[in-house]
Amino acid sequence: MDILSDVAWRHAAGMLYPEDLPMAAAEALVRGVDSPALRELAGLGKGSATTEIEDLYRDALAELGITGPGRREAVRWRLAGLAEELVQGRLTVAGLARKSVPGEEWMTGNEYRFAYLAYYWQDMVDLNSAPQVRTAEIDLLDAARAILPQAVR
C-alpha cells in the first residue's frame, strides 16, 4: 500500500492532478493493491470528469484504510523534500523553480520565503543582474536550510 500512500501525499501537495489518478490506480493494482473503487478508478480514461475521478479516489483510499494528509501538511512535506534536494545538491535552482509551489499565507516565514523565491526564480533571473541573482540564490539556499531539520542541514 506504500504506492497509494505516496500518491495521497503527492496529490494533496499538488504534485499529481486528478487526471493522473487513474494511471496511479492501475499501477497500484499491478503491484497487488486491490479494492472495488480502485479497480473502477483504474478503468477511467484521462478524459473522465474530475469529480468522478476524485470521488472514486477518495472511495479507494477509504476502502483501503489510507488516510491522506491535509493540504498544509502535504505542502510542508513537499517544501522540505525540495529544500533537502537543493541543499544536498541533487536539485539545481532552475530545477527547483519548475517543481515549486507558490507561497501561501499559512506558511511560516522561512517556508514562505523559500516557496516565494523558488516559484518566482525565473522572473528573478530575467529581471536582475548577475550579482543580484547570486544574492537571491544564496538567500534561497539559506531559506532552504532554515526549513530543514537540524540533521539534514
Phi, psi for 107 (deg, rounded to 5):
-70, 155
Is residue 86 domain-shared with residue 139, that is, in the same domain? Answer: yes
Q: Which CA distances in Å does 144 have to 47, 88, 101, 138, 141?
A: 38, 10, 14, 10, 5
Is residue 47 domain-shared with residue 14, that is, in the same domain? Answer: yes
Q: What is the mean pLDDT of residues 19-43?
A: 97
> Confidence band (pLDDT; 50, 70, 90) for 94?
confident
Which residues span the domain enclosing 119?
A: 71-147
pLDDT digits (tens, 9 = 90+) for 48-80: 999 999 999 999 999 999 999 999 999 999 999
Residue 1: predicted pLDDT:
54
- Distance between CA atoms of residues 29 and 53, nearest Å: 16
Is residue 141 domain-shared with residue 83, that is, in the same domain? Answer: yes
Domains held by the chain: number = 2
The one-character DSSP state at 149 is -
Is residue 114 domain-shared with residue 59, that is, in the same domain? Answer: no
Tally helices (H) and strands (E) across the chain: 9, 0
Residue 152: predicted pLDDT:
55
Tell me: pLDDT of 33 over 60: yes
Residue 47: predicted pLDDT:
84
The one-character DSSP state at 148 is S
